Amino acid sequence: MKNVAISGFGITKFTRDDLPIESLMASAVKSLFVNTPNLVQKDVDAILTATSDSSKYLSSITAELTGITPKISHNVESLCNSGANCAISAFAYIASGLADVALVVGAERFDSPGLILEWDKSRGQFRHPIYWSSIFTKSHMRRYGTTKEDLAIVSAKNHKNALANPYAYFEKEFSINDIMRSKNLTEDIRLLDCSYPCSGSAAILLTSEDVTKRFTDCPIWITGIGQRTVSASFTKNHDFTAIQSTREAANDAYKMSSKESSEIDVAEVHDAFSICEIIEVEDLGFAIKGNGSKYVREMYDTQNRRINPRGGLLGSGHPLGATGIAQIIEIVQQLRGEAKKRQVEGADVGLVQNMSAAATSSTVLIMQS
């Protein structure tokens, strides 16, 4: 199996702009080419797109708009973790020798049909994501004493981190009080505990060890991968105080990279709702089970950016198909030491956790310089 590096990236600002999805994708690819001077279109063996948009043959359209005639092109759709899953498909093409250079581009529009799940009968009339997140929130509060203030701290921290991310949708700091007083959507979550649907696009270049030197002097290697889907129905989550899919994906990724959770210097985790980050830091092994909120509070108090330095989904906005790729781009910048005001000092090992469909499916990547 060949080693696979991330050798370049391009990203657009997350907005509420009403642009066609293919224009969003093409913009991120253009930005990637501008950032990667030695790359020309004929180098690209594969172009894979990630989106929950129902438009057709977007990989072919994006290839044509950017002058690429690829050997391999297709779309990857798995709702909110389409981005990270798409990167893994590209990894597999390169590791197997079917491609040496793969372009992965994820995008979404603010009005994506992927925002609400229509298939899941088990949710009854309660299809909107605020319902599943309320159930997780309530269960974690009940078992571990997590409070509404704990939730607000996640959002305050991530909105604050996003101020240093030029591509984030939000450009405003929110106090714990602002968040606690934002509109109650349910008894357990408020408006500012929720990530915000927006338009955006992000692209990465994956290359085999044989050709990486042509494109970058500072490759970031993907050394661990884990994916787990426990079901498609929300109510099949066995325990609402934990995210089983994340725990299992993380175990596989740690094993593949021979790393432990204590060796992760920086991580982007899928904070679709405030409660998600609290549970994820537990299930990724950064905090003891039940101590997730304490762990997040300590980061907030000490201005430690090791979790969600770009602002996560809460601070950056959540253009579904772009999110996983944007998470990867942040870790690439961190491990290259190029994250400027967001930089976590001395970061050598990074992790991305991208999740979908009411926590039933998770993807974890471990990356190293």
Residues interacting with other proteins, by CB under 8 A?
A: 118, 120-127, 130-131, 134-135, 137-139, 142, 185-188, 233-236, 240
Which 3 state secondary structure label does DSSP give 2? coil
Which 3 state secondary structure label does DSSP give 312? helix
Which of the residues 140, 159, 270, 318 is marked catalytic? Answer: 318
In the bound state with other proteins, the residue whose beta carbon lies nearer, of 289 and 306, is: 289
Which of the residues 80, 86, 194, 276 is marked catalytic? Answer: 80
Is-catalytic flag, 140? no
In the bound state with other proteins, the residue whose beta carbon lies nearer, of 108 and 188, is: 188
Rounded distance between C-alpha atoms, residue 6 and residue 87, angstroms: 10
Q: What end-to-end distance do the CA atoms of the chain give, in Å?
A: 19
Min separation Cβ 146 and other proteins, Å: 14
Min separation Cβ 188 and other proteins, Å: 5
Six-digit token string for 175: 């106090």
Distance set, CA 309 to CA 24, 78, 180, 265, 312 (Å): 24, 25, 22, 11, 7
Rounded distance between C-alpha atoms, residue 223 and residue 110, angstroms: 33
Q: Where are the alpha helices (DSSP H) in the chain?
A: 21-35, 58-65, 82-95, 129-144, 148-162, 176-180, 244-257, 274-283, 292-302, 312-316, 320-336
In the bound state with other proteins, the residue whose beta carbon lies nearer, of 124 and 346, is: 124
Backbone torsions φ then ψ of 65, nearest 5 degrees: -65, -20
Is-catalytic flag, 318? yes
Min separation Cβ 143 and other proteins, Å: 10
Min separation Cβ 360 and other proteins, Å: 12
Distance set, CA 107 to CA 63, 76, 288, 310 (Å): 14, 11, 35, 18
Which 3 state secondary structure label does DSSP give 308? coil
Min separation Cβ 131 and other proteins, Å: 6
Rounded distance between C-alpha atoms, residue 301 and residue 322, angstroms: 30
User: Residue 247 contacts by C-beta under 8 Å, 6 or more apart in sequence?
Assistant: 283, 284
Active site residues: 80, 318
